[in-house]
Structure 1
Amino acid sequence: MSNDKGKKPAETKEPRRALGRGLDALLPVTQIAAAAAARAESPYQMVGIERIHPRRDQPRKRFDEPALEELARSIEEQGLIQPLVVRRSDEEEGYEIIAGERRWRAAQKAGLREVPVVIKDVDPESAFELALVENVQRMDLDPVETATAYRRLMDEHGYTQDVLSRRIGKDRSTIANTLRLLQLPDEVQERVVARELSEGHARAILSLKDPGEITKLARVAAEKGWSVRQTEQFARRKLEGPKAPATPDPAKEPTPASTANVRDLEKKLESALGMPVAIRTDGAMSSGTVEIGFDNLDQLDRFLRRVLGE
């Protein structure tokens, strides 16, 4: 292990803390590397990349390969700017990643032999909670991964939804809605993970109670490229009884191409705003609405300030 005292990660502003008491010293996650480096006697340490390994129970299970390749090219040109956050593992002289597995994977692709790290003395339970918060704040988890991580924290720590809400800085209603995804049949969960269906689609489908009907509706909605609103309408008709039409009016259904364009616009807006976006259109794609979700009042306040140019 060698020390590098000549470099410091770029300073960042300290945002409001999201977690409750107990992990305050560890957060906010997205700024933890710079904050820890500023307090430490040695800003950070350079560690051989082969001595670092990801958590076996890392909340995030899937990584976007094209995005990793893009990050690897950036690291090749500019180096790894933000240190990884790690803890000493039980393996001899090894380190376990708390925050930064995506950067670690990209650094391997870029051929780096050493990477900067900030070492934190935390227990495995706190490390898992911190890893979850980082991924949630960065919106790196798919909805099913998020729900699974929430459930694990509740089961292993005895958290209620209210306690978990305070610990990770999410509204209780958001947590409750996300946990409902675990009630979906496996096939439907896989469609959500594969982004064939959004979390909004899943919530609409869950209004049906029969697992067979849920799976059937999910399959049809994914194959036809239905919007969330169309899926809600069909589920409502199904619940109202057999007198309702079996499917939405084909004349009012947007074409697959137009649906793909709407989804692309939703993703671009979500990426730019860091907030969930749903675009609702009529059958002719000539009018509609844009819905922007927020998890708390602070997020809404930041959005309004951005829109108003303050």
Structure 2
Amino acid sequence: MQRTVKMSQVHRNPRQPREYFDEEALKELATSIDTYGLMQAIEVRPDNDQGGYEIVSGERRWRAHQILGRTKIRVTVVSEQNELKRFKRSVSENVNREDMTPFEEARAFQRILDEEEGATPESVAADFGKTTTYVKLRLALLDLREEIAKHVQDGQIGTQAAVQIAALSHTNQGSVLSKFARGEFASDNEIVHFAFAMKQQQDQAVLMIVEEMTEEQRTERAATQKKTRSTLDKIEQIRGMLDEIAKTDPFKLAEALEGGVGARLEQLDRVAESLTKARFQLKQAKAHAEAKELVVVNPDAETEANEATAAA
């Protein structure tokens, strides 16, 4: 049932899933409402406890009316008495328009899991037209340390990097935070690489210590190191050859490669592709090397390893 009521009769739902409202976006909405009117009434329910009406959906439109100084607003009165169902309707309105922050979504999904009997990440995903992976990645954000969560909310750390950090123990999250505070990450991508490498090492039962290796393991390790360094040294020599090609006049190159320019270009394309892959592996290696200096091995994994040793 639609009606027009006084703005003073309407109040927000204190358990509304959305907490952050972009001021500029609200001003734009207010301008639109001022120009074209309210296209869709907000949904409210009678509030028998506080009196008046509580917003079920449409808080942004209500806030826009406040900005405009309006004294009345058009509402649709609904009779939904189940608070959790009202909450889910509000989540649905916001999440499918991408109006909620990742943390608001995470907290909303977690509340449904906590309060709805039989709810699972799969059922929550189905309710809101999301994938199960999407829901689980949002829920992972709730495992972040408070200091890191604030950086994410402020837009200083991206959601993808945040999810990788959240997989770490709080101690190792602290190590990532310290590097971030010192400005040691050039991009979110570097944070992703570092946190991923730290997670792999964190989950090991124990970290390999050179002094505890057998003679055979040391010999094999030394041979691998020598071969890898030799290969990279040869790449540096190839770089010199490529520089020479880069400085050659294109007309002279065409003459020198008469009939074979296309094939040679394909050859360089293959080299460039391999170089890109090798560079990615080295970036991962750099992340592993840095993580190794800071990582605290997963206590659970270490305990399991000790128990297995004792049992043997």
TM-score (norm 1): 0.59
What is the CA distance between 1:94 and its match in structure 2? 0.9
- What per-residue deviation string (whole Å, max 9, x for no partner) do you get for residues 77-117 of structure 1? 33222210111112465111111101101111101111111
Q: Secondary structure at the match of 2:96?
A: helix
Runs of 5+ in structure 1 lacking a partner?
1-39, 244-281, 283-310
Q: Which residue of 1 aligns with 2:22?
A: 64
Superposition map of 1:23-34 within 5 A: none
CA distance in 2, matches of 1:221, 1:227: 10
What is the CA distance between 1:183 and its match in structure 2? 0.9
Q: Is residue 97 of structure 1 aligned with residue 55 of structure 2?
A: yes
Q: Is residue 81 of structure 1 aligned with residue 39 of structure 2?
A: yes
- What per-residue deviation string (whole Å, max 9, x for no partner) do you get for residues 264-296 of structure 1? xxxxxxxxxxxxxxxxxx9xxxxxxxxxxxxxx
What is the CA distance between 1:185 and its match in structure 2? 0.8
CA distance in 2, matches of 1:175, 1:136: 11
Q: Which residue of 1 aligns with 2:279?
A: none
CA distance in 2, matches of 1:89, 1:57: 14
Question: Aligned to 1:162, which of 122, 125, 132?
Answer: 122
CA distance in 2, matches of 1:183, 1:92: 35
Superposition map of 1:1-310 within 5 A: 44-91=2-49, 94-123=52-81, 124-158=83-117, 159-207=119-167, 209-218=168-177, 220-221=179-180, 223=183, 226-238=186-198, 239=200
* Counterpart residue type for residue 65 of structure 1: E
CA distance in 2, matches of 1:237, 1:163: 32
CA distance in 1, matches of 2:126, 2:28: 35
- What per-residue deviation string (whole Å, max 9, x for no partner) do you get for residues 18-57 of structure 1? xxxxxxxxxxxxxxxxxxxxxx6xxx31111111111010
What is the CA distance between 1:127 and its match in structure 2? 0.6
Report if the CA contact (8 A) 2:160-2:192 is conserved: no
Report if the CA contact (8 A) 1:80-1:107 is conserved: no
Runs of 5+ in structure 2 lacking a partner?
202-206, 210-275, 277-312
What is the CA distance between 1:219 and its match in structure 2? 5.4
* Counterpart residue type for residue 156 of structure 2: E
The answer to which of 233-242 and 110-119 deviates more is 233-242
Report if the CA contact (8 A) 1:85-1:117 is conserved: yes
What is the CA distance between 1:175 and its match in structure 2? 0.8
TM-score (norm 2): 0.59
Q: Percent identity?
A: 31
CA distance in 1, matches of 2:67, 2:193: 46
Equivalenced residue count is 201
Report if the CA contact (8 A) 1:83-1:116 is conserved: yes
Q: CA 1:115–1:182 in 2, change beyond 3 Å: closer, same or farther?
A: same
Q: CA 1:224–1:139 in 2, change beyond 3 Å: closer, same or farther?
A: farther
Higher RCO (Cα < 8 Å, 6 or more apart): 2
Q: Which residue of 2 aligns with 1:4?
A: none
Report if the CA contact (8 A) 2:96-2:128 is conserved: no
What is the CA distance between 1:176 and its match in structure 2? 1.1
What is the CA distance between 1:187 and its match in structure 2? 1.1
Q: Which residue of 1 aligns with 2:262?
A: none
* Counterpart residue type for residue 47 of structure 1: V
Coordinate RMSD, CA, aligned: 2.4
- What per-residue deviation string (whole Å, max 9, x for no partner) do you get for residues 175-225 of structure 1? 111111111111111222222112101122234x33132134245447566
